[in-house]
Structure 1
Amino acid sequence: MADTVTRPDPDALLARIEADTEREQRGNLLDMARLQEGHVQLRREWQPLEEVVGASMQTLAVPLARHEVVVNLPADLPLLEFDSVLMERVFCNLLENAAKYTPAGSRIEIAARNEGDRITITVADNGPGLPPGREESLFEKFTRGQDESSVAGVGLGLAIVRAIVQAHKGTVRGENRPEGGARFIITLPAGEPPVVVPEI
């Protein structure tokens, strides 16, 4: 006897997507209000960058499945002092934007390098790029990028990214890559990680 394949109800699926989008938008608005009012207490701990990047990718496993994701984090990258929950939000927002605004099959790259007193992290893609001349204004509240009518959101993702990065005494900017696509560059202070003494 053949197995019966149950197909998802399109209306139910659409309702779920809309509910998830609405919940995300409410969360963005609440986060932005808290960040602006200084009500967010950073819970900073020394930790590896790869863990928060990995957690972000796991959270976005479904939208990222349509893309080629390449992670290039040096093995000797030092520990960074940051709030893991907030920094995960930074990478989730950047990766989600990359997945939203680039066609299926596009390449998304996450890389980092040690520059002495700071760590530079990039999230790049080979999609259509940022609107020329609007690279800076995209970080303003309620500002969105390409294909605004076809992509859900209220334009708070990058504003939240900047607010969180600045709360960590860092900087973030967006630019178009010479070879095509967009690139977001985050710099965070390297600080002085604690010395870990191996147990004998």
Structure 2
Amino acid sequence: MGAAIGMTLVSASGDSGMPDTPCSSPYVTCVGGTHLVASTEGVIEKEWAWVMSGSGLAKTFARPYWQDGDVTADRRAMADLALNSSTEQPMWMRRWSKWEYFGGTSFAAPAFAGMLAVVNGYRRSLGLPRVGFLNPILYGHKPTRSTFRDIEYGQTEHYHAGPGWDYPTGLGAPDIAMLALALP
């Protein structure tokens, strides 16, 4: 229902290296995982598919039209995009008056949802429309696709990352500032 009224629903791909629910739904933007290493200045030194990034084919959902150009299988393929999920290079968060660190796609997915909230606020300040249902735009709008950093290395138990869309990392890791302006 959310996608039908123009909402982006975000979910973690899971931390088992296998497809997970609700990410298998074509109405959900599925966030997979990477292992990101950055300098103390925030410069990305290297990034690869996280070995536990939930990825693969849905058991019940057919391939949505917007994956036709990237996926040859007849079922919905995951993930759509990826963010750092490695527990070796975790994300930090301030909670209950102290700093804690977390990993996993269950942390990456809400981080991406928060980024989309900031994108919507920024776009509103410019008089641009909100993001809406993101999946068809991610796959079918070339300027939006170009805002993703392709993750070409790394693997899960069953899938390798490679040039272009792949199961563990989808279209890659988004540059949120560029994404905010590239969306139609």
Q: TM-score range by the shorter chain?
A: under 0.3
**What's the TM-score, normalizing by structure 1?**
0.23
Normalized per residue, the structure richer in strand is 2
Q: Which of these two proteins has the greater Rg computed from alpha carbons?
A: 1
**What's the TM-score, normalizing by structure 2?**
0.24
